[in-house]
């Protein structure tokens, strides 16, 4: 099952990708996580990506597209994958469609998490991530069991630099201008499936289960 997750930053893509990845035993491929891991390891890619990420802008396509397409050719992607944060503009969406078409494939679902900007801003200010294992939490609604400590690996959770207010506004602007058009791209191809992401987590999961069972 090949799934693309659509929706603004903070709409819940990462959280639900984690759930779907565990449920269907297919990899969760997050370009943001790949860039952050590269940055942590001090790779040239990580250092190049950092400047864009800190400003809330998109990392250039030439650093992003091949990286993802190569990742999709790895063995663990044979039964499918969940793409979270890619594609992020029309060029990337088209590159993905073409690369898959060359293999006679297409994505199966483009799941669009719909939520208002006000709710996103509220949510992102509460988001915390584990810098070690990548688990995500929210101080409102989805807190760690012990305050400030990752449930999975026991490390101290942090607020991402780009979840701070000024960068959040910039990321939302970039989303509106560059990423939102890909919703229409998938809609025209009959792939867009909408889920109201302002609902409580369990309700969103139920909606996902319902959508993917058929």
The set of catalytic residues is 13, 88, 127, 160, 171
Two structure tokens written together for 105: 């494939």
- Given the complex with ligand AMP, which of 170 and 202 has the nearer CB atom? 170
Q: Which stretch binds ligand AMP (CB under 6 A): 37-45, 53-61, 99-107, 194-202?
A: 53-61
How far is the C-alpha of 148 from the C-alpha of 129, rounded, in Å?
A: 10
How far is the C-alpha of 204 from the C-alpha of 209, rounded, in Å?
A: 9
Q: Which stretch binds ligand AMP (CB under 6 A): 84-92, 117-125, 144-152, 192-200?
A: 84-92
- Given the complex with ligand AMP, which of 25 and 66 has the nearer CB atom? 66
Q: What value does the CA radius of gyration of the chain take, rounded to a whole number of Å?
A: 16
* Min CB(168)–ligand AMP separation in Å: 10
Please tell me whether residue 86 binds ligand AMP under the rule CB under 6 A: yes
Alpha carbon distance, N-terminus to C-terminus of the chain: 12
Among 15, 21, 64, 97, indicate the residue that binds ligand AMP (CB under 6 A): 64
Among 9, 12, 27, 134, indicate the residue that binds ligand AMP (CB under 6 A): 9
Spell out the residues 6+ positions from residue 134 whose beta carbon is closer than 8 angstroms to its own: 33
Residue nearest to ligand AMP (CB): 32
Q: Which stretch binds ligand AMP (CB under 6 A): 70-78, 86-94, 137-145, 180-188?
A: 86-94
Beta strand 192-196 with 2-6: parallel, antiparallel or unpaired?
unpaired
State the residue for tokens 């289960």: 209
Please tell me whether residue 7 binds ligand AMP under the rule CB under 6 A: no
Q: Which of residues 91-110 bind ligand AMP (CB under 6 A)?
A: 92
* Min CB(210)–ligand AMP separation in Å: 25
Strand, coil or helix: 27 = coil
Strand, coil or helix: 140 = coil
- Total of chain residues touching ligand AMP, rule CB under 6 A: 17
Largest Cα–Cα separation, the chain = 48
27 in Cβ contact with 77 (< 8 Å): yes
59 in Cβ contact with 53 (< 8 Å): yes
Q: Which of residues 11-40 bind ligand AMP (CB under 6 A)?
A: 31-32, 35
Binding site for ligand AMP (CB under 6 A): 9, 31-32, 35, 52-53, 56-59, 64, 85-86, 88, 92, 162, 171
């Amino acid at each position: 099952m090949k799934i693309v997750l659509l929706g603004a930053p903070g709409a819940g893509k990462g959280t639900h990708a984690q759930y779907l990845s565990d449920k269907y035993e297919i990899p969760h491929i997050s370009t943001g996580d790949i860039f952050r891991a590269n940055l942590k390891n001090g790779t040239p890619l990580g250092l190049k990506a950092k400047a864009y990420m800190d400003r809330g802008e998109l990392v250039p396509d030439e650093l992003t597209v091949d990286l993802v397409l190569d990742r999709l050719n790895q063995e663990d992607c044979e039964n499918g994958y969940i793409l979270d944060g890619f594609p992020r503009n029309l060029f990337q969406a088209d590159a993905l469609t073409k690369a898959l078409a060359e293999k006679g494939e297409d994505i199966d679902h483009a799941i669009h998490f719909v939520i208002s900007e006000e709710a996103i801003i509220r949510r992102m200010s509460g988001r915390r991530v584990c810098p070690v294992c990548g688990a995500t939490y929210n101080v409102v609604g989805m807190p760690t069991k012990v305050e400030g400590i990752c449930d999975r690996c026991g490390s101290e959770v942090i607020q991402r630099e780009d979840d701070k207010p000024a960068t959040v506004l910039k990321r939302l602007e970039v989303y509106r201008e560059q990423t939102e058009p890909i919703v229409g791209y998938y809609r025209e191809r009959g792939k867009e499936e909408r889920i109201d992401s302002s609902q409580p987590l369990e309700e969103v999961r139920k909606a996902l289960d319902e959508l993917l069972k058929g």
